Amino acid sequence: MLNARLMRLDDQAHEHTHDHHQLVLSLAGRAEFEVNGRGGEVCRMRACLVPGDADHQFAGMGDNRMLIIDLDEQGTSDEDLQLLTGLFETPRYPQLDADFQNLLSYAGAELERYGSDPLLTRALGGVLLRALHLRLFGEPHAQVVGTLNLERLDSYIVEHLARRISVAELAQVACLSPSHFHAQFKDCVGLTPHQYLLKTRLDRAVRLLRESGLPLIRIAEECGFSSQSALTTAMRRYLGLTPKRLRSAE
């Protein structure tokens, strides 16, 4: 069985257990999950893999649109069974690169239009599962881009997060030309340097909103946004929630 569907998760917390696996992806907005005691969030940049029989709780955060794939192992070929075993061995919250997000947007649009066609829903769900499996278990990027020291880059980004950081600057830290750095970083991380910087700024802003009482203008400054309105615009676009709504939902 493989079924892909679109739905909105409401703000009320729900608790489920079912014997089939589930992949939850966001077309818009966010949701919070806890699977076998492991918490995480679903947004445009992050998915959730729920193994069959896993206890899980979830709640939508404001306006959201989720693409949910339900699947079990009955009647599954040996090759597909191996794929499912790898993906759903444990709860996961995998990061989604820009190419996968484009694929997800396409699948969501097709399901919106032709979601009653079971052949289409199975085909789109299978493509998304295979694409995610390749990203998690495909050829190790480290062999291709061994010259990148990601730990060093992360430390530099965190240290200078409050100001503008250029790609040329990061390339200098990595001792590469800007063009080679951009290509290798995309291959290694699955995001462009600009996308990764934005994700890091948003992750930091979300943590500060949840864990501190700092005013929004201070959080925007500490995370490298040019203004409070720039922070609000980025969160609304990529997380589907404003800073004030995120803080009030805690």
pLDDT tens for the chain, 250 residues: list them. 788 999 999 999 999 888 899 999 999 999 999 999 999 999 998 999 999 989 999 999 989 999 999 988 776 777 777 788 888 989 999 989 888 999 999 999 999 999 889 999 999 999 999 999 998 887 544 333 445 788 889 999 999 999 999 999 998 888 888 888 888 898 888 889 999 999 999 999 999 999 888 999 999 999 999 999 999 999 999 888 889 888 876 5
The architecture CATH gives domain 2-137: Sandwich (2.60)
d(CA 96, CA 185): 15
CATH no. of 150-249: 1.10.10.60
The verdict on pTM exceeding 0.85 is: no
* CB contact at 8 A, 69 and 22: yes
Domain with CATH 1.10.10.60 in the chain: 150-249
Domain with CATH 2.60.120.280 in the chain: 2-137
